[in-house]
Amino acid sequence: MKPELRPQSRAFTLIEVLVLVVVTLLLAGVLIPRLHPRRVSAPRISCANNLKQVALAFRIWATDHQERFPWAVPVAEGGTLVRPEDAGREFGDVVDVFRCLSNELTVPKILVCPTDRQKLRAGSFDGLGGARFGGPPGSSLTANLTYLAGWDASEERPATLLSGDPDFTSRLPAGEGRTATNASVKSFSIGAPRSAGIRETGVAWSGRLHPEGGNLGLSDGSVHQLGNGLLQQVLAQAADRGTSRIARVVVPRGDGE
């Protein structure tokens, strides 16, 4: 009778253990970065939700003011335009523009992007529920404001830019018109056609707020999460529907500027 052969179990050798560890580390190096953008995008989604509330507030406010946004409405009627004859040439104070939305927004905390480390969230518009938006009475500090305002926004032109992240690259040139010293006017226009029906402006996100892109809200109330390619197309469409194929945005300055 032949003896029964039984398989012999053996432990891993040191080399096999080292190979297994190396393979595991390589797989982790490949998979973990793919999961990372999902974690990073959470603040960006929160920012987009902020802008949806801002867009809704602007539209509700405009409904009560003959379809006009605050910078196109005289101060006497509740807007920020000091002299009606300066409409289109004088924007006014960007902090006052967002103060006009106090009834529609209720709290100003959403006017700061969750990733903006240069700004502080204000607790109230009147100072009774925490830090006052814009600083003490009589001041217009931008310490509580991240988002830009689209000067040439119009409810009659839904694709025009209403609000959004302000961190464009320096390639966005200065725009025509005046605003208060707590902000600057930037402009964008249509560049050369890249393909049929698609044009670009050449501007890009700086990456200061969202490494993977940024958010813009349009006059129709929609908010879009955009990479650089789509950003250029959206800005070009906004300019195409603006006056003289140019559109302007008013960007709040950093605190202390």
Amino acid 49 reads N
Cβ atoms within 10 Å, residue 74: 16
Q: Is 20 helix (H, G, I), strand (E, B) or coil?
A: helix
Joined tokens for residue 146 = 């991240």
Joined tokens for residue 160 = 């025009």
Among the listed residues 95, 123, 94, 98, the one whose alpha carbon sits nearest the alpha carbon of residue 109 = 123
Gap between the Cα atoms of 78 and 115, Å rounded: 32
Q: Is 154 helix (H, G, I), strand (E, B) or coil?
A: strand
Joined tokens for residue 150 = 């689209």
Please check the confidence at residue 193 and state whether its pLDDT lies above 50: no
Q: What is the pLDDT of residues 1-32, one digit of tens each?
A: 555 555 555 566 777 767 777 778 777 666 65
At 197 the pLDDT is 45
Q: What is the pLDDT of residues 205-256, one digit of tens each?
A: 999 999 879 999 999 999 999 998 888 888 888 876 555 567 889 999 874 3
What are the φ/ψ torsions at residue 57 (nearest 5 degrees)? -65, -45
Q: Is 246 helix (H, G, I), strand (E, B) or coil?
A: strand
Q: What is the pLDDT of residues 132-175, one digit of tens each?
A: 999 988 888 999 999 999 999 988 888 899 999 999 886 666 77
Mean pLDDT, rounded, of the chain: 83
At 17 the pLDDT is 65
